[in-house]
Structure 1
Amino acid sequence: MDQPTTPEIFAPHRRAAQAARMAARQGRADAARFLLEDVAEDVAERLGFLRHEPGRVLVLGDPAGVIAAALGLAAEAGTFALEQPWPTGGYDTIVSVFAHDTANDLPGALIHARRALTPGGLALVTMLGAGSLPSLRAVMLAADGERPSPRIHPQVDVRAGAQLLQRAGFADPVADSRSLAVRYGTLNRLVEDLRDQGLSGVLTQSGPPLGKAARARAEAAFAAEADQDGRVTERFELLTLSGWALRK
């Protein structure tokens, strides 16, 4: 019997182009880094709380090295395909920053991460969780009108995240989420912040670029959500999955 084929929700070539663009944009002094910096702070707190001393560290989803620099680590940057087998058993710490968000085979990618850990190694996987970007979602629906197109990536919630960790065979799996609110004066600034941090769309079947009329509808919908200060509060739900490789 043929093995079922994993649906290609995310386009690998778009994912690679997104990473290259992020790396280039992060070279600018004014690039948005607030999500990366928040994750770096969170990772540092978790490592301290768990009393886990990172030795050989792999960081995924951060081609500009923001996380490693913030943590003071000489980390390796992962450039291999998430859905393919990784080098096994070589890392005692793996930090994934918005990389697993676009894995077509998420359970498989988590299994590869576990197998890449040394016995007793720790994986920390942060994703944009369910409930993220509600304002942008509403704006895009308004822009598309009666024929909405897929534009926002599917997102994982805490319960599903915990189940994924168990399915991947991690020991002591934990899934938790925290919310980060950011205020924006323009829709363009929100979009630019997403591009800076490697969070723009890479869907295989994505909607067409917004035309002039659709762009005007998007701007009007964004303005309609603004508060008395003329700003829209966007929400980022940061879902973190953590688990250990079993000691032999």
Structure 2
Amino acid sequence: MSEPASTPTSNKGPRPQDLDAAAVRHQARRLAAAAQPPWLHDEVAGRMAERLTYIKLQPNRVLDASPALGASGELLRLAYPSAELLWHEADTALAARAAEKRQRNWWQKLRGASSGHVDSLPALPQVDLLWSNMALHACADLPELLDTWQASVAVGGFVMFSCLGPDSFVELRPLYARAGWGRPTPDWWDMHDIGDLVLKAGFADPVMDQQRLRLTWATPESLLADLRALGGNLAPARFAGLRGRKWKAALLAQLETLRDGEGRLALTVELVFGHAFKAAPRLTMAAETHVSIDAMRATLRKGRETG
């Protein structure tokens, strides 16, 4: 079943990428209570970690902005064993799950692993790396979040993130349209729009890319179970009512139309990856500009350090 759709709460006007904020909170609570984190996130975290080898910076402070479901803690610890590893979850249920997991990891304490909770963003003191695995597609206000990320990262530091792209589960759209069931998924931000938002937030040199995975299942029941483990339908335009057994039976029958030439049920998942750096702010000059001596000295000093 899915919860009834509610009106988007954004005061910026409707956008194709809008999410239902109430549904976001509901799914966060449900996933926080699940026995295991989403099955796909561990695979994506590994692919993200491979990209860290492209970046020479060795951060002293690392912030994992999606630890409860992101499956990234040990990967970050292996990549930066001497760094201070911090974490933040905006949702209280997910924050409780992340805190409980860290309490159980007694072996990290024996190894002297440094880890701390950041109550709210922006993070102060700022961090050298802000990492977020498979969380942005469940963010109700992405531009606002990127602004807080920018304020959390020190000059010269960087962000690295991953999320679902708009072509994820695209095969479900005509199926739902034929049945009059509304949207099966939101219109997630594509990588070009995310790159533009990253620039607008104040980061520099964003590098965006995407990968497509073709996933297959033997039965419609196993497909639905895996989709439920990934989350729920956050689209404001989804079917505005409760689902029943009759609807589920109809859905299982419709899913049978997804079988490929090998008899497997197939869906596409689009993964979006990105990273960007925080450059030193530039002084803007009007016809008459007042700049403090301290600000001028700091800018000149930063130029000598990076030059």
User: TM-score, with normalisation over the residues of structure 1?
Assistant: 0.81
Say whether residues 1:171 and 2:204 are aligned partners.
Answer: yes
Name the SS of the counterpart of 1:234 in structure 2. strand
Which ranges in structure 1 are unaligned for 5 or more consecutive residues? none
1:243 maps to 276
1:10 maps to 19
The Cα of 1:52 is off from its aligned counterpart by: 3.1
The Cα of 1:244 is off from its aligned counterpart by: 0.9
2:166 maps to 130
1:105 maps to 141
1:79 maps to 89
**What pairs with 1:111-150 in structure 2 (closer than 5 Å)?**
111-142=147-178, 145=179, 147-150=180-183
CA–CA separation in structure 1 for the residues paired with 2:233 and 2:32: 16
| Aligned pair partner of 2:218 in 185, 205, 211 | 185
Moved more, 181-190 or 110-119: 181-190
**Which structure has the larger Rg?**
2
Query: CA 1:170–1:67 in 2, change beyond 3 Å: closer, same or farther?
Result: same
Name the SS of the counterpart of 1:237 in structure 2. strand
Say whether residues 1:95 and 2:100 are aligned partners.
Answer: no
List per-residue Cα deviations over 1:2-49 (Å, max 9, x = no partner).
Answer: xx9235843444323323332332x34xx652x212222222211111
Name the SS of the counterpart of 1:134 in structure 2. coil
Query: CA 1:159–1:206 in 2, change beyond 3 Å: closer, same or farther?
Result: same
The aligned amino acid for 1:214 is W
List per-residue Cα deviations over 1:138-171 (Å, max 9, x = no partner).
Answer: 33334xx2x3423311112222222122211111
1:202 maps to 234
Q: How many residues align?
A: 235
CA–CA separation in structure 1 for the residues paired with 2:229 and 2:67: 11
1:20 maps to 29
Which ranges in structure 2 are unaligned for 5 or more consecutive residues? 1-9, 79-83, 92-119, 281-301, 303-307
Name the SS of the counterpart of 2:72 in structure 1. helix
Query: CA 1:187–1:38 in 2, change beyond 3 Å: closer, same or farther?
Result: same
Query: CA 1:16–1:5 in 2, change beyond 3 Å: closer, same or farther?
Result: closer
The Cα of 1:63 is off from its aligned counterpart by: 0.8
The aligned amino acid for 2:185 is I
Task: Indicate if the aligned counterparts of 1:6 and 1:105 stay in contact, CA closer than 8 A.
Answer: no
Say whether residues 1:222 and 2:255 are aligned partners.
Answer: yes
The Cα of 1:87 is off from its aligned counterpart by: 2.9
Task: Indicate if the aligned counterparts of 1:121 and 1:245 stay in contact, CA closer than 8 A.
Answer: yes
User: TM-score, with normalisation over the residues of structure 2?
Assistant: 0.67
CA–CA separation in structure 2 for the residues paired with 1:188 and 1:97: 27
The Cα of 1:135 is off from its aligned counterpart by: 2.5
The aligned amino acid for 1:153 is P
CA–CA separation in structure 1 for the residues paired with 2:66 and 2:208: 19
Moved more, 66-75 or 223-232: 66-75
The Cα of 1:206 is off from its aligned counterpart by: 3.6
CA–CA separation in structure 2 for the residues paired with 1:61 and 1:191: 24
1:38 maps to 43
CA–CA separation in structure 1 for the residues paired with 2:88 and 2:177: 35
Query: CA 1:53–1:76 in 2, change beyond 3 Å: closer, same or farther?
Result: same
Task: Indicate if the aligned counterparts of 1:150 and 1:205 stay in contact, CA closer than 8 A.
Answer: yes
Moved more, 68-77 or 214-223: 68-77
RMSD: 2.7
Q: Percent identity?
A: 25
List per-residue Cα deviations over 1:108-145 (Å, max 9, x = no partner).
Answer: 21121111111111111211112111223333334xx2
